[in-house]
Chain A
Amino acid sequence: MRKHIANLKSEDDEAEINLTPMLDVVFIMLIFFIVTATFIRETGLEVNRPDDNEAQVVQEDGAILVIIDSTDDIWIDNRIVDARAVRPNIERMHAEDPDRPVVIQVAKASSADTLVTIMDAARQASVFNISIASAPE
């Protein structure tokens, strides 16, 4: 009887798979994926870049046209506007006709800072339909 029990025990031992190495591997993989998991938090503004033809159509439809020239001056309605005055200007034009989108016509040499400032101003004036057009040659 004693032998029989010993036999049973050794058989049990053989049937069990040793999970330790697999556990080690799984844990190492888990740690690797936790460490490399980068939850990126880059804030930004959405950009709408229409086709060239589309931009032309939008302009003809009477969009709020904001022009940035190559010296980073901002033009609205054929007037140079200060960067801080962009928002009130867009707000006023938005109030006149809430359906008008904003089209920003960008000169090649102007800086990204000005572009983002105008996009931000338009969004603050609650115009979210903003298109970016490149200046005609």
Chain B
Amino acid sequence: MRESVIEQLQQDEEVEINLTPMLDVVFIMLIFFIVTAVFVKDPGVQITRPTAVTAFIPEKGSIFIAVTAQNEIWVDKRSVGPEGVRAAIERLHTENPEGGVVIQADGEAANEFVINVMDAAKAAGIDDVTIAAAIP
């Protein structure tokens, strides 16, 4: 009788899986994804990018500003006027101080507004500005 109890105890122990290493891995993955999570605010408009052969992937572009063919400036799914760009960029810049500005200008957009966005980024203290261009 006594032996059977001990046997059962041993069996119980064998059935239990040690979850600790898996927990470690899961936590490390969790921390990795939390740290790398960049919540990109998509401008939310469809634009036709100009093409450029020498286009490259910028290291840290995460503030997206779109200039549409109708010369509207969109940030974070809202249309902001040329005066509102700087405030919008500054707000996104405080949320993500490492991110550079990517101007998604439509091929038809007037350069007045593209330069307006560049100046706004500069005024907000961001030097890392790129114009989006598709590789043909």
| Interfacial residues, chain A to chain B (CB-CB below 8 A) | 1-2, 5-6, 9, 19, 23, 26-27, 29-30, 33-34, 36-38, 40-47, 49, 68, 106-117, 119-120, 123-124, 132, 134
1/0 contact string of B31-49 vs chain A (CB within 8 Å): 0011011111000000000
Whether A47 contacts B61 in the complex (CB less than 8 A), given A42-B132, A107-B111, A112-B111, comes out as: no
Per the 8 Å Cβ criterion, residues 67-87 of B in contact with A are 67
Listed from nearest, the 3 A-B pairs whose CB atoms lie closest are A33-B33, A113-B107, A108-B112
Q: Which residues of chain B have C-beta atoms less than 8 A from A106's C-beta?
A: 111, 115
Contact B37 A36 (CB under 8 A): yes
Q: Which residues of chain A have C-beta atoms less than 8 A from B107's C-beta?
A: 111-113, 116
Contact B9 A45 (CB under 8 A): no
1/0 contact string of B74-115 vs chain A (CB within 8 Å): 000000000000000000000000000011111111111011
Q: How far is the CB of B135 from chain A (nearest CB, A)?
A: 6
Residue B19, interface by CB 8 Å: yes
Residue B23, interface by CB 8 Å: yes
Whether A19 contacts B19 in the complex (CB less than 8 A), given A42-B57, A43-B56, A110-B110, comes out as: yes
Chain B minimum-CB-distance residue to A16: B16
B-side interface size class: 35 or more
Q: How far is the CB of B19 from chain A (nearest CB, A)?
A: 6
Contact B40 A30 (CB under 8 A): no
Residue B15, interface by CB 8 Å: no
Whether A45 contacts B55 in the complex (CB less than 8 A), given A26-B30, A29-B30, A33-B34, comes out as: yes
Q: Of the candidates B19, B51, B53, B111, which one forms a contact with A108 in the assembled complex, judged by CB atoms under 8 Å apart?
A: B111
Chain B minimum-CB-distance residue to A113: B107
Contact A49 B129 (CB under 8 A): yes
Q: How far is the CB of B86 from chain A (nearest CB, A)?
A: 14
Q: How far is the CB of B113 from chain A (nearest CB, A)?
A: 9
Q: How far is the CB of A52 from chain B (nearest CB, A)?
A: 10
Q: Which residues of chain B have C-beta atoms less than 8 A from A23's C-beta?
A: 19, 23, 26
Contact A38 B40 (CB under 8 A): yes
Q: How far is the CA of A111 from the CA of B52 in the complex (A)?
A: 15
1/0 contact string of B7-39 vs chain A (CB within 8 Å): 001000000000100010011011001101111
Q: Which residues of chain B have C-beta atoms less than 8 A from A44's C-beta?
A: 55-58, 61, 102-103, 130-133
Whether A36 contacts B62 in the complex (CB less than 8 A), given A44-B132, A47-B131, A116-B52, comes out as: no
